[in-house]
Amino acid sequence: MKNLKLCLAFSHIYIEEAIRNDPLVKTICQTFPDAKLIYIENYKDIFNRKNQNYCRQKEAVKLILAKKPNNFLYSWSDNCINVADNSFYLTQVINCLYDCEYCFLKGMYDSANLLFFINTEDFDKAISMLKSGSYISLSYETDILSLDKLFTNLIDDYLKIISNNADKKFEIRTKSLNVEKMIDAPENLLITYSILPEILISKFEKYTPSLEKRLLKINWLLAQGIKVRLAIDPILVMENYLDEYRLFCQKLKFFINLDKLEDIHVGPFRIAKDFLKKAKAQYSESLIWNYPYQIKNGNYTYNKVIFEEIINVFKEELPINKLRFLKEIENEKDKR
């Protein structure tokens, strides 16, 4: 397996001509002295090209630097577990250096190249205009913490934005071990740590840290008084899945004081119909993309009975008051 550090050694950096002299662009380029710099008119000329192969590009990811002209915030997806009425996410960075086989980005975008919009101030301005009480995810289509050493001061900038918007709530979702800067995290920031059983991590989460290493970092965050949520999402079916998830829950109880957590989000694998079709075409050997899912509300997902069996394991093993599920699953429970 290729080391994640090799993914950081970009062979090519595409840069919009209009920002070639920007100080941040120069700093990033100096970080990769061996990269070939290619100047372009618009990032879409590279990122939105037709007939790209996401799977092949993942083997040698290129970096694209651009300035986003608009649409700095998007409304929270219906495929996310509901956290607030006014929930948004920003996509200052699109695509991820990790290569999780189940990732929805494989079906969402044609390009696997990493796209970074350097105009942080415009994202900041858009956030400041949101109403009080809004909820903002800062890392919806990437893992910001894994990129912090690449994009100089990006996390520092975000921590300032969070502090300056004390009337709003923020989330950083991650699998990264690079959490030391969170020691200065403001009260209105929540770290959502994505975890799965080790058998799934080793098989489907390429380049990511092990479960045990993540649990150690979660304990460190909790010891610093930082708010942490667990995201056991997406739930994937495997051989002996009920036994595996029970052992997984027991490991969580052994390693972590679950009472200190904000909550635990549990969601099944789910993917939009069009996204599945696109990903399946490029990953023809994938167990994830070729599973016989059922379609529900425009999404492909597991048979309801299978997921309910797994949910029951979580209910038996984990604090029921901490568990959170997709809105439609909660509604189904209410109807019974």
pLDDT digits (tens, 9 = 90+) for 226-280: 999 999 999 999 999 999 999 999 999 999 999 999 999 999 999 999 999 999 9
Instruction: Please tell me the distance from the alpha carbon of residue 31 to that of residue 33, in angstroms, as a whole number.
Output: 6
- For the segment 189-209, the average pLDDT, to the nearest whole number, is 96
- Residue from 32, 176, 197 nearest 96 by CA: 176
Instruction: Please tell me the distance from the alpha carbon of residue 78 to that of residue 173, in angstroms, as a whole number.
Output: 17
Instruction: Return the pLDDT at 327.
Output: 62
Burial of 204 (0-12, 13-18, 19+ CB in 10 A): buried
Upper half-sphere CA count for residue 75 (Cβ side, 13 Å): 3
Q: Is the pTM of this model over 0.85?
A: yes
Does residue 153 come out as left (phi exceeding 0), alpha (psi in the -120 to 50 range) or beta? left
Instruction: Return the pLDDT at 334.
Output: 40
- For the segment 145-153, the average pLDDT, to the nearest whole number, is 82
pLDDT confidence tier of residue 148, bands split at 50, 70 and 90: confident
SS3 283: coil
Instruction: Return the pLDDT at 192.
Output: 96
pLDDT surpassing 50 at residue 333:
no
**Percentage of the residues of the chain whose pLDDT score is greater than 90:** 80
pLDDT surpassing 70 at residue 7:
no
Average pLDDT of the chain?
91
Cβ(206)–Cβ(3) below 8 Å: no
pLDDT confidence tier of residue 3, bands split at 50, 70 and 90: low
Mutual angle of helices 120-128 and 154-164, in 10-degree steps: 20
Lowest mean pLDDT among 67-81, 232-246, 309-323: 67-81
